[in-house]
Structure formats: structure tokens, C-alpha cells
Amino acid sequence: MTRKVISAVALSLLAASAWAQEEAQAPEGEKVVITGQRPGPGLWKVSKGEHVMYLFGDYSPLPIKMDWRSHEVESIIAKSQEYLPKPSFGIKVGFWGGLKLLPYAIGFKNNPDGAKLIDVLPAETYDRWQALKAKYIGKNDDIERERPMFAADTLYRYGLEKNGLTKRTEVYAKLDKLVKQYKVKVTPSGFETELDNPGQALKAFKNSPGADTDCFAKTVESLESDIDAMRVRANAWAVGDMSKIASLNFADREEACKQAVFDNEAFKSNDKLQHAEQSARKAWMSNAEHALEANDTTFAVLSLSQLIGPKNYLLELQAKGYKVEAPE
């Protein structure tokens, strides 16, 4: 219970792979999302001599009715000596810290002082929210009391589902199952920072007005103008269309929502949390170099944004002298 509470507060919107909202509208033929069994994209290769690391590009949202299965991925996992999951970061509270959270947990999703969305959002943004709420959520008075970041998360999830897409994909779970099946060594690149006073942090979160209107506005904009392009991206991933995947840009919706957490009074003075993403990246890069030194074959996962985005990890590996090959 306590771990779920703090995770919901601090990490529910800290995803790293977001995509551009300025991408062109999808062709008419791509307004239907793909269904059935699909392989996903091919694998990137990083090599040092005879030692090879194969990288799988994870992505969401994906088609709800798509069943991912890649025989290529399974064959690589089967012969790998080590598996590197995506880098991750989080907040650790411990048992006693978790107990201290309980008195402050009720209502943490709501705006302070009983405010509603109409009170905290610009009028123009609120009007657009009302239209999208009617379209995707329907009547729901309780959500009007929630902080913009939490209302935005619900709206985004409902909007995706109504358009045949979901962020709750089974891809990562299937990868983990294959890794366990073939008994591959797992080397995580997780970074956890501990709150000095979890109860005080959650109390501060509840009482601070927050800085999440940008997160909300970008979510509204995304659902208004980007749904068709989302289908293009999801379909491209599902069939492994590398020409379309390589041409994608990256957006700032989820970056804005992540920043809304970091900028909250409860967390913005926590230096370790502010640098958690960089620390997780550094840990993953170190693990990757060690794996390439020690193993004949390594299997790893990164988000597509970490493979082809402007700050992708492969550029750093390439600069260090590793050979990098993209899938065809």
C-alpha cells in the first residue's frame, strides 16, 4: 500500500519515451490500428570485436488488439549470457517511512484547498478539457477535483483506449518471461533515491499548488491533434517499418508531466531525484560496456526514444568506438 502511494505521487508520469506532436497527419489508410500477431521492429546491434549486444526498442502506445511475438528476439535471448533491462529510477521509502505516509495519503491526488480544475486551469484550456472529457470520459464529477497531472493521465489513457491504443502493453512482460525461461542473467540499471522524511514530502505535495498546467495543456493538445499520428507510430512499430520509425520525432508531453513532479515543492530540493534520470543512464551505460567486454552475446532493452531520439544512447556508445548497426 505505502509503496503504491508514493509511486503514484512521484512516478506515475515519469515515462521517458514520448513522441512528437508536430508530426504530419496520418494517411487515411492508417486510421485503423493493426491487430493480430506482429513481430515489432528488428534489433539494433552494438559490437566490440566478436562480442555483440542486441538491443530491442520498446514503445507505447501500441494497438490494443496486437499480440507481440518475435522469433528473432526469442532466438537471441536463448543464446544470451546477460540481459540489461531499460534503465529505471524511483523513490524508496522503506517500511517505517511508508507508515508515516498513511495519514497524508487520503486525497493526495486532489488539488489543495478544495480547488477544482476550473479554478486552476486557464479558461481556454478548461473549455478544451470539457470537450475531450465529454468525448472520452463522460460524466465524472470527482475528476474535476484532481490535480491537472492526474486528470491528464486519466484523460490520456481513456483517449488512447477509445482509439484502439494502450500504454499498458504486454511486450515487456513477455520479454521478462523469455529471460526467465532461458535463465539469462539479469543486470538491472535501476536508481532509487530515499526520501529523508516521506510523510513531510507527501504533506508538502498535497499542500502545494503544483506546476502541472503545462502537462495538462500538452495532453489536451496531443489528443486534439496527434491521435492519427499515434496510430502511424504504433503501426510502424508493430510491423517493424524502420523507414517510418527512423523518421519519427520526439515530443514534450510526457517530459512536461515528468517535470511537473520534479518541480513540485515536495521534490524540487531533492538533488538526487533531480538527477535520477542521468544516474540511471550512467548506470546502464556502465553495465552495457561491462557486458560487451565479458559476453559473447548480450540482450538489452531501451525505449525507442533512447535508441533514435536526439539524446540516444547509441551515439554515446558509437563515440566510444563501438560499432553500431540499425535494423533494416
For the stretch 168-183, pLDDT in tens is 888 988 999 999 999 9
- Res 7 pLDDT > 70: no
Q: For 24, which DSSP code?
A: P
Calculate helix-pair angle for 213-225, 253-262, nearest 10 degrees.
Answer: 170
| d(C-alpha 146, C-alpha 108), whole Å | 9
Mean pLDDT within 194-199? 69
pTM for the predicted model, two decimal places:
0.81
Mean pLDDT within 89-118? 66
Phi then psi for 112, rounded to 5 degrees?
A: -65, 155
Q: Which positions ≥6 away from 203 have C-beta within 8 Å?
A: 104
Chain centre to alpha carbon of residue 220: 18
Which carries the bigger pLDDT value, residue 16 or residue 87? 87
Q: How confident is the model at residue 248 (pLDDT cuts 50, 70, 90)?
A: low
Residue 301 φ/ψ region, left for φ over 0, alpha for ψ in the -120 to 50 degree band, beta for the rest: beta
- Under 8 Å between Cβ of 253 and 153: no
Q: Tell me how far CA of residue 277 lies from CA of 191, 193, 271, in angstroms.
A: 8, 11, 12
pLDDT of residue 203: 74
